[in-house]
Amino acid sequence: MSDLTDSLKWELKKNPFFQELDEKTFNTLLQSTQPKVLKARQTIFHEGDPGGSMLMILSGKIKISTIAANGKECVLAFFGIGDVIGEITLLDGGVRTATAQAMEPSRILELTRNQFMSILESNPQIALKVIDILCRRLRATSRMVEDSTLLAAAPRLARTLLRLSRSHGIETDGGTLIDLPMSQSMLGAHAGLLRESVNRQLRAWEAKEILKRDDNKITILKIDILHELSENTS
């Protein structure tokens, strides 16, 4: 087995999707797929494109978004190493339900529907992992919709930052760094807020040293206060 395949095998074996595969099935999978290298801001697929495959992120970060009825972008989620995207079309064979774009140079591995169904025949426990992913993402989407409907700008933005800190946070000496290169417009599109509202609120929190910004990245300095702000539903 080549050094490249050995390296890819090592990467995949760390992912719960493949940990339970027998060696023969795993090697067959590796022989039928190749990693793809993406440039920053490269679109992987558009909403409405033909589907039929799931993508696993080997490195980098991917943004998932859709276009609302008013023409504005709605950022649904950000995914990183080990995450999978496109699981819905993998199961039903339908079109893509959102647009995926690389936020930075990234590597992905594509698993087609035919390959996946073949794996399921001998490894039905993999289906349970996909169901688990779907349930967790449905819950996350429901929370986002609830927040955008019921909360004012400050608690909504606070909850958004806390969610991002849990999924993409890195603990540093100064606080929790959200390791995502996000503009204020992108953060607003994710929180369901106008860029101006995001800018105003971030500046207010910076003045109170609740967080700090540096080169489109945010570090939460006082996460306990952000938790308090997130619970303000009045």
Edge to edge, the sheet with strand 99-102 lists: 43-45, 99-102, 62-67, 73-79
Instruction: State mean pLDDT over 83-112.
Output: 90
Name the 3-class secondary structure at 50: coil
Tokens standing for residue 181: 């290169």
Instruction: Count the helices and strands in the chain (H runs, E runs).
Output: 9, 12
Name the 3-class secondary structure at 37: strand
Give the pLDDT confidence of 129-174 residue by residue, as tens digits: 778 888 888 888 887 777 777 678 899 999 999 999 999 999 999 8
What pLDDT, on the 0 to 100 scale, is given for residue 142?
80
H or E stretch covering 3: helix 3-13
The mean-pLDDT minimum among 56-70, 121-135, 167-181, 196-210 falls in 121-135
CA dist., res. 138 & res. 126, Å (int): 19
CA dist., res. 220 & res. 213, Å (int): 9
Banded pLDDT at 1 (limits 50, 70, 90)? very low
